[in-house]
């Protein structure tokens, strides 16, 4: 089984950049997308109704902002929940939770703290809420997979210019420590589990200064898994050749 995640940076925009071909190339059983920036009725029909798959879209109340989507094969029958059930966060359409039986999947567009201190604090409260929900599921004996744009690079190896970005949201010490909290909560970064020392492996590149062409990027998109999923992972990586967004898709393969 392949699970994939992609911040599409506007589903209507990526629809005109070969999304259907990219979707086929990703070849996932389950695909979570983030930052759809559209209401469900604004998603083009050929994107909303891909043969062999069902889809759900969770928009932000604010038009053209945030939002998430989930595709899954018709043979799967998950129980879908939208949001955390917390008013502070749910108006932005950031969370789709899908219970597939063997695991609960969180597809999340985590907040960006780049607009000032209040936004960083909002981001950290969101992280806390997420960890609380993971803990609750673990106490019930459930396995969890979380995918999405976490909007933080964890270690210096996870971005091109760590020193230059040490005071920039996305690599602030108080944000990075939450990535440690994820690990302490039993969530394993699937890519680093397989490739602990692999450098220059990124999932996001600024549109400015031809950053993608020069591979000056950040790894801010992740798959986190709980203990019972770890030994089922056969691969976890980026599909950096797939274009259409400033992020590339990432995936895990499970045996």
Active-site residue numbers?
A: 149
Q: How far is CA 179 from the centre of its chain?
A: 14
CA 179, 183, 186, 191 torsion-angle sign: positive
Q: What angle do CA 71, 59, 26 make, to 5 degrees?
A: 25
Q: In the beta sheet, which residues pair with residue 109? A: 149
Question: What is the sign of the dihedral through the CA atoms of 104, 12, 38 and 41?
Answer: negative
Residue 111 Cα distances to 4, 37, 56, 78, angstroms: 20, 14, 20, 25
Residues 251, 33: contact at Cβ < 8 Å? no
Count CB-CB contacts under 10 A for residue 213. Answer: 8
């Amino acid at each position: 089984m392949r699970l994939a995640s992609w911040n599409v940076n506007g589903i209507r925009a990526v629809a005109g950049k070969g999304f259907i071909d990219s979707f086929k190339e990703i070849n996932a059983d389950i695909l979570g997308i983030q930052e759809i920036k559209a209401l469900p009725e604004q998603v083009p029909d050929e994107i909303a109704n891909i043969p062999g798959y069902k889809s759900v879209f969770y928009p932000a109340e604010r038009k053209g902002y945030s939002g998430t989507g989930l595709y899954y094969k018709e043979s799967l029958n998950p129980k879908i929940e939208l949001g955390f059930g917390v008013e502070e966060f749910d108006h932005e359409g950031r969370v789709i939770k899908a219970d597939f039986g063997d695991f609960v999947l969180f597809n999340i567009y985590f907040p960006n703290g780049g607009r000032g201190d209040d936004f960083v604090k909002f981001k950290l409260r969101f992280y806390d809420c997420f960890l609380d929900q993971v803990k609750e599921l673990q106490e019930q004996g459930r396995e969890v997979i979380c995918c999405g744009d976490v909007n933080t690079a964890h270690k210096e190896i996870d971005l091109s210019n760590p020193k230059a970005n040490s005071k920039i949201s996305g690599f602030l010490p108080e944000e990075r420590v939450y990535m440690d909290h994820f690990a302490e909560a039993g969530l394993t970064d699937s890519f680093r589990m397989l490739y602990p020392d692999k450098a220059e492996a990124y999932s996001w590149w600024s549109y400015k200064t031809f950053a993608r062409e020069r591979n000056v990027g950040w790894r801010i998109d992740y798959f986190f898994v709980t203990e019972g999923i770890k030994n089922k992972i056969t691969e976890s990586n980026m599909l950096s050749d797939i274009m259409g967004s400033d992020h590339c898709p990432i995936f895990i393969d499970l045996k």
